[in-house]
Amino acid sequence: MKTYRKRILVTGGAGFLGSHLCKRLLEDGHEVLCVDNFFTGAKENILDLLGNPYFELLRHDVTFPLYVEVDEIYNLACPASPIHYQHDPVQTTKTSVHGAINLLGLAKRTGAKIFQASTSEVYGNPQMHPQPESYWGHVNPIGLRSCYDEGKRCAETLFFDYHRQHGLPIKVARIFNTYGPHMHPNDGRVVSNFIMQALQNQPLTLYGSGEQTRSFCYVDDLIEGFVRLMDSSEDFLGPVNLGNPGEFSIRELAEKVIELTGSRSSLVHKPLPSDDPTQRRPDIRLAREKLGWEPVIPLEEGLKRTIPYFETLLRSR
């Protein structure tokens, strides 16, 4: 049970995951400072929080230093979809690396506990399946996805070096594909693409054969994992995988979306983007053991909660 109101900084707080996290932290009785440069985030995602006196919004780019007083920091700032992070790859790496340095500096000065939103992309195109945290990955350092993958890997390095060198309390989560309301409708990620296409009876775009797999976690499950990790025992730093171990081919996902939306869409094939991982599924034994956490919302249920969000978006256009 919560005993006092914490002051919590959420960077990237106007984005998809950040907006759900801000809401959850306010519901838990904390004070939230949401920092965002609105590159991919949107005011709409946090509109319902703006009237809350314990919620504060600051437009700021984390590649520049930030001076605020807080007890905890969740560092989520970074574009997450391939279209967005490849738009300005240099800025993507800067956001991960300079952003981590600035926020770790802030944590060092204030003594705040700091959480890093890392990613399953640190495993690259994995040669081990499913991926446990002990796997070091198979990452192309010079490809189109490298600005994101290597930026996130370097951020993990910085987190662990600040811990070893300065004793900072750190928490590192490796997030696997997550979906839900507030996803950007045009960010090119597969769940948002397929739902938008299905709702408009347009063909669903399967990249490559559609036999590549992903594991999809509903956002509420993931946010529960974030909060449990932040509150976990101080000797548990991570990295810890957070994701849903249910694994589906992209073709299966397309068929499920068509069924749930009652769409008349067909499937079309498009070229596979470079370095697109062929398989991905988290090994979540560590999260189960250390956090008592596992997802409880199956894909079909999560899609049923997500589809109405996109229907509303389309109606408002």
Chain positions contacting ligand NAD, by CB under 6 A: 11-12, 14-18, 36-41, 61-63, 76-80, 95, 99, 117, 119, 175, 177-178, 184
The answer for residues whose C-beta is within 8 angstroms of residue 280's C-beta and 6 or more apart is: 120, 123, 126, 131, 176, 177, 213, 214, 215, 247
Instruction: Give whichever of 81 and 244 is closer to ligand UDP, judged by the CB atom.
Output: 81
Q: Are 69 and 33 a contacting pair, CB within 8 Å? A: no
The answer for residues whose C-beta is within 8 angstroms of residue 317's C-beta and 6 or more apart is: none
| Residue 37 binding partner per list ligand NAD, ligand UDP, none, with a CB distance cut-off of 5 to 8 Å that depends on partner kind | ligand NAD
Identify whether 74 is a catalytic site residue: no
Instruction: Quote the CA–CA distance of 10 and 115 in Å, as a whole number.
Output: 10
Q: How far is the CB of 67 from ligand UDP (least distance, A)?
A: 34
Question: Is residue 52 part of the contact set for ligand UDP (CB under 6 A)?
Answer: no
Q: Are 51 and 143 a contacting pair, CB within 8 Å? A: no
Give φ, ψ of 138 to 5 degrees: -140, 80
Integer-rounded Cα Rg, in Å, for the chain is: 19
Q: How far is the CB of 85 from ligand UDP (least distance, A)?
A: 9
Question: Is residue 79 part of the contact set for ligand UDP (CB under 6 A)?
Answer: no
Binders in 152-211 for ligand UDP, by CB under 6 A: 177, 188-190, 193, 205-207
Helices 299-315, 250-261: axis angle to 10 degrees equals 60
Instruction: Give whichever of 232 and 279 is closer to ligand UDP, judged by the CB atom.
Output: 279
Instruction: Give whichever of 19 and 193 is closer to ligand UDP, judged by the CB atom.
Output: 193
Question: Is residue 257 part of the contact set for ligand UDP (CB under 6 A)?
Answer: no
Instruction: Give whichever of 102 and 125 is closer to ligand UDP, judged by the CB atom.
Output: 125
Instruction: Quote the CA–CA distance of 43 and 25 in Å, as a whole number.
Output: 18
Q: How far is the CB of 6 from ligand UDP (least distance, A)?
A: 32
| Residue 218 binding partner per list ligand UDP, ligand NAD, none, with a CB distance cut-off of 5 to 8 Å that depends on partner kind | none
| Residue 276 binding partner per list ligand UDP, ligand NAD, none, with a CB distance cut-off of 5 to 8 Å that depends on partner kind | ligand UDP
51 Cα distance to chain centroid: 25
Q: How far is the CB of 117 from ligand NAD (least distance, A)?
A: 4
Q: How far is the CB of 135 from ligand UDP (least distance, A)?
A: 16
Question: Is residue 273 part of the contact set for ligand UDP (CB under 6 A)?
Answer: yes
Q: Where are the beta strands (DSSP E) in the chain?
A: 7-11, 31-36, 55-59, 72-75, 113-119, 170-175, 178-179, 204-207, 213-215, 217-218, 240-242, 247-249, 267-270
Instruction: Give whichever of 91 and 193 is closer to ligand UDP, judged by the CB atom.
Output: 193
Amino acid in position 270: K
Q: Which residues are catalytic?
A: 148
Residues that bind ligand UDP (CB under 6 A): 81-82, 177, 188-190, 193, 205-207, 212, 214, 250, 272-273, 276
